C-alpha cells in the first residue's frame, strides 16, 4: 500500500515538473496574444474615429482634406491586419507541434 502511494507521488511530481518546464513558453505566447488583442481593441476605436473624421470632412466640409484621413485610416487597417497575424502566429506553431501526424490507411478508397 505504501509503495503505491509513493509511486503515485513520483508520477505526479514528474508530470508537474514537465508542465512547469513547458509553462514558460506558453506564458510567453499567451502574453503576446493578450497584448496583441489589447492593441487591436485600441486600433478598432482609432479606426472608428478616423472614419468619422473622414465622413465629416467629405460630407460636411465639402471634401477639402479627405485624402489625409483616408491614408490614416488605411494605416490603421494595415496595423490591425499585422496585429491579427501576430496574435495568431504563436499558437499556430504550438498546435502543429502538439498534434501527431495522421497515418495513411492502407487500402483506403480515394
pTM: 0.57
Work out how many domains the chain is built from and give that number: 1
Model confidence at 110: pLDDT above 90: no
Query: Is 101 a member of any domain?
Result: no
Q: pLDDT per residue over 51-76, tens digit each? A: 888 888 888 877 677 788 888 899 99
CB 100 within 8 A of CB 64: no
Residue-number span of the structural domain to which 76 is assigned: 41-92
Grid cell digits, residue 8? 503515485
% of the chain beyond a pLDDT of 70: 65
CA distances from 43 to 78, 81, 87, 89, 108 (A): 10, 10, 14, 19, 50
Query: Is 63 a member of any domain?
Result: yes
C-alpha dihedral (8, 10, 16, 18), degrees to nearest 10: -120
Query: Is 53 a member of any domain?
Result: yes
Amino acid at each position: 500500500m505504501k509503495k503505491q502511494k509513493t509511486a503515485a507521488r513520483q508520477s505526479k511530481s514528474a508530470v508537474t515538473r514537465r508542465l512547469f518546464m513547458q509553462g514558460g513558453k506558453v506564458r510567453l505566447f499567451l502574453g503576446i496574444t493578450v497584448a496583441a488583442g489589447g492593441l487591436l481593441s485600441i486600433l478598432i476605436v482609432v479606426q472608428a474615429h478616423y472614419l468619422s473624421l473622414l465622413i465629416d470632412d467629405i460630407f460636411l466640409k465639402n471634401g477639402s482634406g479627405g485624402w489625409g484621413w483616408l491614408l490614416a485610416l488605411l494605416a490603421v487597417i494595415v496595423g490591425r491586419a499585422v496585429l491579427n497575424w501576430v496574435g495568431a502566429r504563436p499558437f499556430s506553431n504550438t498546435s502543429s507541434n502538439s498534434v501527431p501526424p495522421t497515418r495513411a490507411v492502407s487500402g483506403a478508397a480515394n
